[in-house]
A and B are shown apart, each in its own frame.
Chain A
Amino acid sequence: MEYGLDLEYSFNEFLKGFGLSSEIAHIIWLPLPMLLVLVAAVVGVLVTVWLERKISAAAQQRIGPEYAGALGVLQPIADGLKLLVKEDIIPAKADGVLFTAGPILVLVPVILSWLIVPFGQNLLISNVGIGIFLWIALSSIQPIGLLMSGYASNNKYSLLGGLRAAAQSISYEIPLALSVLAIVLMTNSLSTVDIVNQQSGAGILSWNIWRQPVGFIVFWICALAECERLPFDLPEAEEELVAGYQTEYAGMKFALFYLGSYINLILSALLVSILYLGGWGFPIPVELIAKFLNLPINAPFIQVFTASIGIVMTVLKAYLLVFIAILLRWTTPRVRIDQLLDLGWKFLLPISLANLLITAGLKLAFPQFFGG
């Protein structure tokens, strides 16, 4: 590792100091980042739920939660505890096995996708070579879980909700993948770390959003549709389908859906910030600031400082996008299912294809700006 903090190496060296073999040190190390990311994801959900309640209240000129902790910050924990102790009901005519497996299949791929989210040069679980492609592949498993729970509930609203969810996520996956492909074309790599590094040249000016404005918008719309957020929350449209595939669920199984949808929202926001907004990069490159202040870039103190700035920047950008998503949810009406599919197939798909072709052409014409 030529640059940046490498916690794994230091941790392994530390354990080897106690006379452990490198294999045992590796095994002790392995669960740590996974646990950390899991905790980060759950805390992120709590924060997002609180934000959702507060922002929706503000949008509707209410106060929102205010008694549970200061400004109601403990409200999401109260919500979670309530769901945890509620009775676990499986309807009599439902298919028990599929009914239980559905929510798990929805949640697990979302959490697995956090594998590739980088918070810094070495601050990610695994810098796998297929990087962003892993996320696209994993997010395509989710509709099976939705169809499964919709079918197993033995309820027409659930089945319709599940079918809608599957149709929606199949249609929006294609423009999503095409807009990611344009970024990959510019980066020459699928790895999320490389994608961020490619944007780190000139701070805010070199972020992909300036080179891929169309891709950014297409990706954001598709990500919202994949998360089933309003204006695309057709699968659980209350007025038509009660609650879609979640209708028969209660207690912890419902909480799994709830967690899954919010973790997915945060994940999408993180990925937008990684793909288009420079990931962990500060608007002005940290190296420039260090050089300006005459500080050695490889000093441990500067390294820790840079890593913290990286984490703060990633989270800040992601939560800015989450804020926009929440505002969108509480200010826009829902689209109809035919409008949704028309938008996906007749508008976003051609646009993202054209975007990909234009990116390829620009890459040939201006290799210095669009990645050589």
Chain B
Amino acid sequence: MSIAITTQFICFTVLSLVVIIGALGVVLLESIVYSAFLLGGVFMSVAGLYLLLNASFVAAAQVLVYVGAVNVLIIFAIMLVNKKEDLKPIDDIKSRRVISTSICLTLLSLLIRVDLTNVWSLSSPQNSIGEESTIRIGEHLFSDYLLPFEVASVLLLMAMIGAIVLARRDVMSKDISTGLPVDQELIEKSSEPLLTNKN
């Protein structure tokens, strides 16, 4: 075995272990903050796996989008509402756990089946494009994948408008759940005047 292949094998083993253990930690850890940080680690290791597959552009995009944007926003949100309070115990927690486990196992079996039936070996390894992949991705995005690309951006736009509507409460005059008129005061505004009026 040459040095390059050995290095690749070691990297692959370490990255896979980090992905699996990290993902288990994300699901099983009690502390939500640890879960969020571990999720970042999992995203990073997935980017590392992309790098091993010679897909450097996808790896960098993975880091930029998932670690730099999604994960930071998740952690940001957790820290903004970081109240130390015990969550209300759910009554039918056992049946819920059974259902979610069975769904996950079904998905896992589906993935295993894909893994076993698919032919993974490339016809010729010379076909890998390596550094040129950025150009190829760009070409595909603006030709045969143009419609999915645009549809995805419309989806993101819809999500953004939805978030703005939810965040700006003055858009709606009534609370959706209770039907009561919405308090349209600013959250930051103090209920008592900070300075006494001297006129």
Contact = CB atoms under 8 A, between A and B. Distances in A.
Q: Say whether A and B bind each other.
A: yes
Interface of A: 23, 27, 98, 128-130, 133-134, 136-138, 140-141, 143-144, 147-148, 150-151, 159, 162-163, 166-167, 170, 173, 190
Contacts of B57: 129-130, 133
Contacts of A162: 79
Given A137-B63, A141-B63, A151-B33, A128 B56 contact: yes
B70 to A, nearest CB: 11
B49 to A, nearest CB: 15
Contacts, number: 75
Interface of B: 2-4, 33, 37, 40, 44, 56-57, 60-61, 63-64, 67-69, 71-73, 75-76, 79-80, 82, 130-134
Nearest to B73: A170
A98 B63 contact: no
Contacts of A140: 63-64, 67-69, 72
B72 A147 contact: yes
Given A129-B131, A137-B60, A143 B79 contact: no
Contacts of B67: 140-141, 144
Given A130-B134, A140-B63, A170-B72, 19 more contacts: A98-B33, A128-B131, A129-B130, A129-B131, A129-B132, A130-B57, A134-B60, A140-B64, A140-B69, A141-B68, A144-B40, A144-B72, A147-B76, A147-B79, A151-B33, A159-B79, A170-B73, A173-B68, A190-B134
Q: Which 9 A-B pairs have the closest CB atoms?
A: A140-B68, A129-B131, A137-B60, A137-B64, A137-B63, A130-B56, A143-B72, A147-B75, A23-B3
Q: Which one of A27, A130, A136, A138 has the highest number of Cβ atoms from chain B below 10 Å of its Cβ?
A: A130
A76 B60 CA distance: 35
Nearest to B3: A23
Contacts of B60: 130, 133-134, 136-137
Nearest to A159: B79
Contacts of A173: 68
B56 A129 contact: yes
Q: Which one of A129, A144, A163 has the highest number of Cβ atoms from chain B below 10 Å of its Cβ?
A: A144
A193 to B, nearest CB: 12
Contacts of A150: 79
